[in-house]
Every structure is written in C-alpha cells, then in structure tokens.
Amino acid sequence: MRKKITILIPAYNEEAVLYELYNRLINTIEKNTKCYDFELLFVNDGSKDNTVNIIKKLKSEDDRVSFIDLSRNFGKEIAMMAGFDYSKGDALIIIDADLQDPPELIPQMIELWEQGYDDVFAKRNSREGESFFKKWTSEAFYRLLQKLTRIPIQQDTGDFRLLDKRCIEALKLLRETQRYTKGMFSWIGFNKKEILFDRDARFAGETKWNYFKLFELAIEGITSFTITPLRFSAAFGSIISLCAFIYMIWVIIKTLIYGNPVEGYPSLMTVILFIGGIQLISLGIIGEYLGRVFNETKRRPLYFINEYNNVKVTPSDPEK
C-alpha cells in the first residue's frame, strides 16, 4: 500500500504567501516523491484576511488539499494540535506558511524517515532577516532552559520537522492547554535525526511574533518543563533567612554589650524591603504555576473548529 504523508501548515493572516507556498510544495512533492500520497492540511487559525478563501479555492482545484478552519485565533501551538488530531498520514511534516522553512528539504526528510527515524527535524544554520537582539535573546533563553531541565531541548530548531505517526499519537496524548510544543518533541523521545538548513527571511507578510509573545512563550517553556524555579525560590528564601538569622544574633549580642541606642533604622529598612522583595518574587513564581494548575483543571477542549473541508463542525464530546 502507498504510504500517506500529511503536510501540516498552520496559517494566520498569510494571504500574501499561500499561492507561492502551494506552488513550491507541489513542485517538490511532484518532482521528488512519486510513490506517496500527499495531504496538504491547512489550519486556518482565525485569520482576519482572505486566507480561508484562498485555501478553499486551492481545495476546489486540488483534492490533495484539506483544511481545518478554527473558530477563532488560538495561536500556532494549538493550531498544530488541531492538525495532529485530523492528520491522516503515516507521517506528518509541519511547515510554516511564510516559506521560512524551505519545502525543498522535504524529500531529504522523507528519505531519513524511510531509514527508520521517527523525528527528522531541521536545524537552522543561519537566521536571515532576524535582528541581532532576537538572536541574542533566543540564545540566552535556550541556555537558561537547558540549565533548568534535564530533557535536552533542541536549539535553533523550529517546528519544521517530519514526525512518524507514532510521534503524532504520542503528542495527541499530551493535551495540556498551555502548550510548549517544542519541548514536547524532545519529551516524547523516539529516534531523532537533525538536518541542517539556512533559514530564509519571510517571503511576504509580517511576523506574528512580538517580544511580548516571545516572553510569554519563554515563561511557558520554563514553567511547563521544570519546577526548578519553585525550588530556586525556596533555596533563595532559606539563604536569606539564614543570613537574617545570623544578623539577628549579631544584633542581640551588640545590644547586650553596647546597650540600645535608636540607631539602626536604615539597616532595618533595607532588610525589610529586601525580604519583602524576595517574598513577592517567590509568590509570583508560585502564582505562575498555580495559574497553570487552574487552567488545566478547567479541562476545556483545546480548540473549536468552524469548518472541516467545507463541512460545518458542531462541538461534541470526543469521549462519547
């Protein structure tokens, strides 16, 4: 039987690039791999522009195209999850719509998959069109994350990768609402293989990321993969308390020997403020985790779908 490969394309306001992306994808899959069935699965993540109409038009001309139209913008992580749920392939390739991930790498990925690798991920050599500051912050974040957790997190790797069906099924079991998919790829394990490529600048349109979102993703990455910050705040608190205790003993001895003049207001103030600050930081860290617990206990579905392949979808309980 012919194997089926799904190409998953999350798209949010990507009208400017879709035709070009489609052409390049079709070119690669037609030229290189005649022995597979392909499914181009677009996930329209609540775009406000013409994206969904372009996808529908592509679908009417080519029945390899299928699409999920989410009920609103859920973010790329969730859009990918919807794609995992609806993928029909024996393998799945995730690719950004903006052509920053060259589709020409796909045949090489498939070749490695045939050799038995379950997760073939593309690691970028260079990052064209990204500012020095973005590169630097990303570098610093990975170094920090790697220090805090024991699972190796791949640096300079996006979501551009081929995953075997086994990996997809594994990822489908991880249904937390606040997702850091890149960490999950590492967490599930299986046979990994990297290939190197040069990441291009965006073909057209604008990036949907800003520093606030990146910061959120960074917090997401840390809080969903390690509880080290909780321990860190406890350790830090203990050290401060120990110092405060030693200082207290010293103050008592001093008072016993030299009496008690009204001095000491500044030192008192600094200590109070310092400890107060540490308490607030620790509370903030606890709050960050507690918030996640709160969000997960609601057990909401990850997304709702408006249309799947031109058919309107009514939400229903998957367990019934």
Q: List residues near ligand UDP by CB under 6 A.
A: 10-12, 14, 45, 73, 75-76, 79, 96-98, 100, 207-209
Q: State residue 78 phi and psi, 5-degree precision.
A: -75, -40
Among 98, 101, 118, 119, interactor with Mg ion by CB under 5 A: 98
Query: Which pair of structure tokens corresponds to residue 8?
Result: 């998953």
- Contacted by 225, from ligand UDP, Mg ion, none: CB < 5 to 8 Å by type: none
Rank residues 98 and 164 by Cβ distance to Mg ion and give the closer one. 98
Burial class (CB in 10 A: 0-12, 13-18, 19+), 21: buried
- Contacted by 56, from ligand UDP, Mg ion, none: CB < 5 to 8 Å by type: none
Task: Give the whole-angstrom CA distance, residue 180 versus residue 190.
Answer: 18
Closest CA to 225 of 281, 184, 283, 177: 184
Alpha-carbon distance values, 1 to 4, 36, 100, 233 (Å): 9, 9, 33, 56
Number of CB atoms found within 10 A of residue 171's CB: 21
Binding flags for Mg ion, 50-89, as an x/- string (CB under 5 A): ----------------------------------------
Rank residues 28 and 100 by Cβ distance to Mg ion and give the closer one. 100
In angstroms, give the least distance from the CB of 32 to ligand UDP: 22
Task: Give the whole-angstrom CA distance, residue 12 versus residue 34.
Answer: 30
Evaluate the CA torsion angle 107, 112, 118, 123 in order and state its sign. negative
From the list 70-78, 96-104, 192-200, 268-276, the region that binds Mg ion by CB under 5 A is 96-104
In angstroms, give the least distance from the CB of 128 to Mg ion: 11
Helix (H) or strand (E) segment spanning residue 216: helix 211-225
In angstroms, give the least distance from the CB of 198 to Mg ion: 14
In angstroms, give the least distance from the CB of 204 to Mg ion: 11
Q: Does 13 bind Mg ion (CB under 5 A)?
A: no
Rank residues 118 and 202 by Cβ distance to ligand UDP and give the closer one. 202
* Cα radius of gyration (the chain): 25
Q: Does 28 bind Mg ion (CB under 5 A)?
A: no
Rank residues 99 and 285 by Cβ distance to ligand UDP and give the closer one. 99
Q: Does 100 bind Mg ion (CB under 5 A)?
A: yes
Rank residues 209 and 250 by Cβ distance to ligand UDP and give the closer one. 209
Number of CB atoms found within 10 A of residue 118's CB: 21
User: Residues interacting with Mg ion, by CB under 5 A?
Assistant: 98, 100
